[in-house]
Structure 1
Amino acid sequence: MERLLVLVRHGQSEWNLKNLFTGWKNPDLTEQGVKEARTAGQTLKEMKLEFDEAFTSDLLRAQKTLDLMQEEMGTDLPITRDQALNERDYGDLTGMNKDEARKQFGEEQVHIWRRSFDVPPPGGESLKMTAERVLPYFDTEILPRVLAGKRILVSAHGNSLRALIMQLEGLTPEQILKRELGTGTPIIYRLDEEGGIVEKIDLAE
């Protein structure tokens, strides 16, 4: 029985390109983001990976990335969309240029908001709060399917995926905060019957 879980961060969005805090806003993919999503689909097809179901967030950039990957793979998977997989909510920082935020609030304060585990920006979520939203959904909706032998593809966001990776790989908050996830780059896990990692292939490495 194959227990396959593949995580993909969405391709570059228009707000990634503009260096804006995006959170729950809904910018589309850039041309580069479209290419990244198609390349991810081509790569998975070339690796002869097959899937039974897909999960994505409630946001356009993750959904479109999944659609483009499916076009390249020639698949039409059942898709579950849920805001539990949404990006971290950046609150009052949403829509602000990251350099402008540093000028307004100070380099150190913005760094704390972005890179601490449990300090949220004003009106927003910390990574800890994001994990508290993402992980119960993963544990009840996605992981049981994988353990039952379903091959699952997840298209989501940098911080929602960090929460999953932290649990899957048993990382500390300090370790996960240092993990960079490239846009449109699949991370492939094969799991044992208890959810332990048998094999991990990170195509960004």
Structure 2
Amino acid sequence: MKLILIRHGESEANFANYWTGWLDVDLTEKGVQQAREAGRRIKKANLAIDCAYESMLKRSIKTAQLVLEEAEASFVPEFKTWRLNERHYGALVGKNKTEMTQQFGKEQVQKWRRGFDEVPPLAKENYFDRRYDGFDRRLLPKGESLRMTSERVLTLWQDQIVPRLKSGQTVLVCGHGNSLRALIQYLEQIPVDKVDEIDVPNATPILYTFDSLLRIERRIEL
């Protein structure tokens, strides 16, 4: 049973150093090339992807599609879900991280970024477009801690990804820094006080191989 986790390629927000959250920013040209290179690495490793899960945000969607193209797996089913969206940074969305550090201090900003239970200031209102029209708005947050992000990601993991792994499929999950950090913390049983040490670089495929009880047999970066 094989799982491939990959964070989207460099985005415009990564380049400009602001909190993105659920903002729908695009990949940079560097991010496009990173995604293609990730797909080539997966192909070189002789991994046959059977399906892909993506967030509702185009930096994830485009990365997954470029990876699938280079891995010669563009034909496989793709599933888009808000449960893989980046952590919702509430009122911090769109704010420059350096400026927020100057305003609130390095320690507070670090807590907002990596603290497991730290909830950022909530957004007063979500101004989402029609991609979320079919969802129960009570489920959609106005700000999240990493724990809250983990809860929604693990719902997807248990309900959809685990059954596919158990059926023998190789699953690609293309998410974001925090949605993948939450899943890695769960899979590797990392203590919550060590979560800030989990690094998820852009467009670097992480391959997990599991035994029949979904215990990790191997973890490698491609």
**8 A contact 2:114–2:195 mirrored in 1:** no
SS in 2 for 1:34: helix
Deviation at 1:189, TM superposition (A): 0.5
RMSD: 0.9
Q: CA deviation at 1:202?
A: 2.0
3-state SS of 2:117 partner: coil
Distance across 2 between alignment mates of 1:95 and 1:22: 6
* Matches of 1:185 and 1:174, distance apart in 2: 24
Gaps of 5+ in 2: 123-142
Q: In the alignment, what sits opposite 2:77?
A: 78
- The counterpart of 2:187, out of the listed 168, 190, 193, is 168
2:154 aligned with 1:135: yes
Deviations 1:120-160 (A, max 9, x none): 11112110110011111111110121122111011111110
In structure 2, distance between residues paired with 1:186 and 1:192: 20
| Displacement over 3 Å in runs of 4+ | none
> Matches of 1:163 and 1:44 in 2, distance apart?
23
Alignment of 1:66-105 (within 5 A): 66-75=64-73, 76-105=75-104
Partner of 1:115: 114
The residue type equivalent to 1:98 in the other structure is K
Q: Which residue of 1 aligns with 2:55?
A: 57
> 1:178 Cα deviation (Å)?
0.8
Structure 1 length as normaliser, TM-score? 0.95
Distance apart, 1:176 and its partner CA: 2.3
Residues of 1 paired with 2:49 and 2:114: CA distance?
A: 34
SS of 2:3 mapped into structure 1:
strand
Give TM-score, length-normalised by structure 2: 0.88
Partner residue in 1 for 2:203:
184
Instruction: Give the superposition deviation at 1:41.
Output: 0.2
- Percent identity reads 47
1:16-70, CA deviations, whole angstroms, 9 ceiling, x for partnerless residues? 0000100000110001100110000000001110011111111100000011111
Q: Does residue 197 of structure 2 align to residue 197 of structure 1?
A: no
**Alignment correspondent of 2:26:** 28
Letter in 1 for 2:110: H
Contact kept, 8 Å, 1:147 with 1:192, in 2: the verdict is no
**Partner amino acid, structure 2, of 1:180:** D
Gaps of 5+ in 1: none
Residue 17 of structure 2 is matched in structure 1 by 19
Structure 2: distance between partners of 1:80 and 1:67: 11
Secondary structure of 2:206's counterpart equals strand
Name the count of aligned residue pairs: 201
How far apart in 1 are the matches of 2:151 and 2:196?
16
